[in-house]
Each structure stands twice: as C-alpha cells, then as structure tokens.
Amino acid sequence: MIKDSWTFKPFTDRPIALVDEQGSWVADFPMELPPDFLRGLYRDMLAARLLDEKFVILIRTGKTSFIAPHAGHEAAQVGIAQALQRGHDWLFPYYRDMGLMVAMGVPFKEIFGQMLGNAADPAKGRQMPSHPGSRALNIFTVCSAIASHIPPAAGAAISMKLQGTGQVSVCTFGDGATSEGDWYAGINFAAVQGAPAVFACLNNRYAISVDLSHQTAAHTIADKAHAFGIPGYHVDGMDVLASYFVMQEVIERARSGHGPVLVELEVYRYGPHSSADDDLRYRSKEEVEAAKRRDPIERFRRFLEKQGLWNLEWDEMLRADLKAQIDRALEEAEAMGEVPALAMFDDVFAEPTWNLIEQRALVQEELR
C-alpha cells in the first residue's frame, strides 16, 4: 500500500529523538512495540558493545591486525538492522558496522573468522579484518576505499526497480564519505532514477582525524539532500527507537515507489578511528567522557526500566550469556585453523581457466 502521509518530516532543525536522556518517551505518537522486541534491541546493543571490547583484546594480543571501534554507534546500527527485511533487502555497509552485522544475524563465529582471516571466514581470508559480508543475508562485502560502495548500492537499487523485486538497497557510511565524488555520483544517479535506496550516514563528527567543520560548510549532512531533490532526515543516532522508527518509515517509503532518501544519524565513537589512530591528537579526554554520559545503551536501559522491562538480575544474566556466546564463538573460530593455500584459486571463476589450473598445480607441487 502506497502511503501519502508520513510520521516524520525531513529537514528538521533538531535531530529527531523519541526517547530523552532520562529514558522517557517524548514522541507525539504512542509507542506500541512488544516487550520482546524492545528487550531484543537492548540485547543486540549490548552484544555489539561486548564484541567491540573483545576486538580490543584481539588487537592487543596480536590475533588480528586491524579494528575499527564501533562503541557509541550501537543504537543507530541496531535500529537500521531491525528496519530491514533480512535476507530480502540488500545492505551495503562500511567497516565500522560490526554491531550492524551482529544485529543482522551474522553468527559470532563468522565475525571472528573474518577478523582472524582463517578457515572460519566465509570469504576465506581474502579481506582485511573488519570487512565482513554475507551472501546468505544479502550483505555486500565491505570495501576499504571510502564511498566506493555507494555507486554499487545505487546500481543495485535501480536493478530492483527495473525488475520489480520489492527490495530496498540500504547503504551506510561515515561522515567522511560525504566528501567523496562517489558519494555525490551514486546518490545523484539513484535520485534521478527514483530508485528504492536509503543512504544512511552515521555521523560521528570525525573522518579519521578531520572534524566535521573541516569536512563541510553545510549545516547538516541531511541538508545536502536538497541538492539531490530527495528528503533528508536528521536523527539522533544515540536513540535506538528514533533510529528504528525513522529507518522503518524511509525504507517503507523507498519500497513503495517514492524514491531514495538520505538519513543522517548523529552518533559518537568512543574509541579511536582505528587501531592505527591516536585520537588524543585531535580531541580531548573530556570530550570523549562527556559523550559517554550520553551512552545509547544506558539511555535505553533507563527507558526499559521505566517500562518495567529491565532489572539488575536480568541484565547480569544477559551479559553472562552474551559473554559466554562470544568466548565460545572465538574458540570455535580459532580452532578452524588457517585457510589452505590452494583456496586462493577457489571462487575466482565459475569454471577455472587453463592458466589457473596450471598455476594451481605449480603451487601444489611447491607445497609438497
């Protein structure tokens, strides 16, 4: 059914928030989500946070070579995941979306296999760490080149429109991507073609070490949607319910033939840009600590408590269960061992070419 009226308005002066810092529902419509769904949002955010902490241990112990911390992004990532039709829609993520992978249902074991680059990785160790994908869940493999995945997301959405599949292409990126030519080309093409695409910017204000004020003179990233002739939504990405409700509506909007949308979700990353970054060179400890006082998980915990859906005993059981799942998944992934050297010749072509067959035989002979 095609709707002509929508709950949320584009180009708002302030970010759209539905739950305030004290955990109170402040929207002008009733919150009618089932308790299990609400608790599931909390569970997924907590799982993402614990996974981020485990990644720090992996890099410190030399078991992986690269991490892109995602703590602080959990509410936006979980809200996006819950708004998608998993395995039907297509997701084009970026390297900081590991919490999004968890919420989409990518198994912990696969995530750790990708981080280790070993035989538990469905991609057989071909990518650098923090660059997952999933054929089963229609998740496009992450690319390191900033914004290079945006034209493919636009192209996929145009294909969905031409074939009438009823799917939507959702593409996530950081604020740094919005300075790239691929970003403008991809969104512009999707807008001209009226493609079912949603472009979601997780704006954490720092593209590596470059503050947002040095990235753009625009008031917000969402304002840039004016140039493409599409709606631009400005959302509090530290509010999981605002992230979920807005993404749900704009995905429905794109699915029903209204064309693409740009969504800016304001978040804050607590960690450095990556394991190779010293964030104290461009921001203060005080700024980071102030951002942590707006923590998305703690904010939603207060909300659940006011709904009678949270208590300390349940929280402790949940944390213990998630930690056990994560520890077990890491052990299972490590036990899979290295990817066989000859696997480099797999999956290159549907039928191997004569020269690949020869090269494979030479490598096999060398390994004897």
Here the tokens at position 239 are 């509010």
86/230 Cα distance (integer angstroms): 25
Tell me which residue has tokens 């993402």: 48
CB-based contact 238:21 (threshold 8 Å)? no
Q: Name which of 235, 228, 167 is nearest 201 in CA terms.
A: 235
Question: Which among 269, 270, 299, 301 is annotated as catalytic?
Answer: 269
Helices (H), ranges, the chain: 35-60, 74-83, 98-104, 108-116, 150-163, 181-193, 225-228, 240-255, 285-292, 296-306, 312-335, 354-367
- Among 48, 134, 40, residue whose Cα is nearest residue 93: 134
Which residue has tokens 């084009």? Answer: 92
Catalytic entry in 73, 149, 234, 273: 273
Cβ-contact 203, 237 below 8 angstroms: yes
* SS3 state at 92: strand
d(CA 322, CA 328): 10
The one catalytic residue in 43, 282, 283, 319 is 282
Stated as kind and residue range, the H or E segment containing 197 is strand 197-203
- Measured distance CA(143)–CA(131) in Å, rounded: 7
233 counts as catalytic? no
Q: How many CB atoms lie within 10 A of CB 302?
A: 16
273 flagged as catalytic = yes
Sort 282 into a burial class: Cβ within 10 Å, 0-12 / 13-18 / 19+. middle
Q: Which residues are catalytic?
A: 269, 273, 282
